[in-house]
Copies of this chain bind each other. A is one copy, B any other.
Amino acid sequence: MSAPAGTTPPGPVLGVVGGGQLGRMLALAAHPLGVRCVVVEPSPSPPAAAAAEVLAAPYGDAAALAELGRRAAAVTVELEEVDTDALAAMEQSTGVPVRPSVASIRTCQDRLLEKELARSLGLATAPFRDVTSRDDLAALGFPAVLKLRRGGFDGRGQVVLHGADDVEAAWAWAAARPALVEGWVPFRREVSVLVARSATGEVRSWSPVENVHVDGQLAESRAPADVPGAEELGRRLVEGLDHVGVLAVELFDTAEGLVVNELAPRVHNSGHWTIEGAQTSQFEQHVRAVLGWPLGSTAPTGHSAMVNLLGTVPPVEAVLAVPGAHLHLYGKAERPGRKLGHVTLVAPTPAELEARRASLAEALRRAG
């Protein structure tokens, strides 16, 4: 069984569309399972290059996807803005499964389809309406939010309508792009739940997460959060989509209960705490799920807080001096607002977590 030096290492290849930090952390988690990631990514030296082979090509490049089809046991995505037609063609011609399915990705790409799916499963969403004319913008009253059906994330791709005076500018902004209008949801907090489903049908969810956004971008997550019903809701969505892999569900926690906001058909920033804060990380679980392997325990290892490092990287020494701080840098150059890394703190009690969170805040403040 011994192979000559220089041959391909044993174990399956996982094809990944996208080579950012999510692809990087997927690739780092895949190696211990004997799985090598090959990513399609136009940037020549992306974060995932740390631990994955990079095919430098646009996400929808037919030749690059065909190469994944020749080499990979399965193909997955680390971003939702992929060319699903190109993926479907690759799957058709090579027989290599795309996981999650093209249908699941298409639903999660489109805010209107997401909401229709949630409603069809009996889950609450914001009031919403497809926008086909100027009049639709005022149909739900004010305030309301005009959102592009595709492409927005981190607070981009949407504008708030405070009143009738805002309609004209919003209509011009949308510029005939497919969009929907959503009624305002008064929420107490933003939470999320991550669920994994293996190709075998096995489903596991992690404890719910409470999230704090700043300027529309995730700043901090805490888990486990007490959000009754969130895990069951996540299970219904992952099964309703026939989804394979990790599914992230962003929710509003309101006085009337949980409201489904957005779905991401992939590992998610609000699940980074699972690397140290759960028995099995979202990255390892996603690899297991898309390869049809048994899923791991999602039990928490303590009380976790995940803090994003945005725009600048603090001195490594300052972060590592904080008791219990786990640093994750993505190998990206600094740029205002850019996600450059995160720090996870895990503590045995909520009080101890607060103390560590305060130490980290102080270290980041002094470093900044």
Q: Which A residues are closer than 8 A to B by beta carbons?
A: 1-3, 5-11, 24, 28, 31-34, 36, 43-45, 47, 50-51, 279, 288, 293-294, 296-297, 301, 312-313, 316-317, 320-321, 323-324, 326-329, 331-335, 341
Whether A296 pairs with B320 at a CB distance below 8 angstroms is yes
**A32 contacts which chain B residues (CB < 8 A)?**
28, 326-329
Whether A329 pairs with B11 at a CB distance below 8 angstroms is yes
**A321 contacts which chain B residues (CB < 8 A)?**
294
Whether B28 pairs with A51 at a CB distance below 8 angstroms is yes
Whether B288 pairs with A31 at a CB distance below 8 angstroms is no
Whether A324 pairs with B6 at a CB distance below 8 angstroms is no
Whether A31 pairs with B28 at a CB distance below 8 angstroms is yes
A70–B9 alpha-carbon span in the complex (Å): 30
Whether A331 pairs with B34 at a CB distance below 8 angstroms is yes
A334–B288 alpha-carbon span in the complex (Å): 23
Whether B297 pairs with A34 at a CB distance below 8 angstroms is no
A333–B5 alpha-carbon span in the complex (Å): 9
Whether B28 pairs with A312 at a CB distance below 8 angstroms is no
A334–B9 alpha-carbon span in the complex (Å): 10
Whether B331 pairs with A10 at a CB distance below 8 angstroms is yes
**A326 contacts which chain B residues (CB < 8 A)?**
32
Whether A36 pairs with B10 at a CB distance below 8 angstroms is no
Interface centre among A31, A45, A323 (most CB of B within 10 A): A31
Whether A327 pairs with B31 at a CB distance below 8 angstroms is no
Partner of A51, one of B50, B288, B329: B50
A312–B2 alpha-carbon span in the complex (Å): 10
**A296 contacts which chain B residues (CB < 8 A)?**
320
A11–B328 alpha-carbon span in the complex (Å): 12
Whether A45 pairs with B9 at a CB distance below 8 angstroms is yes
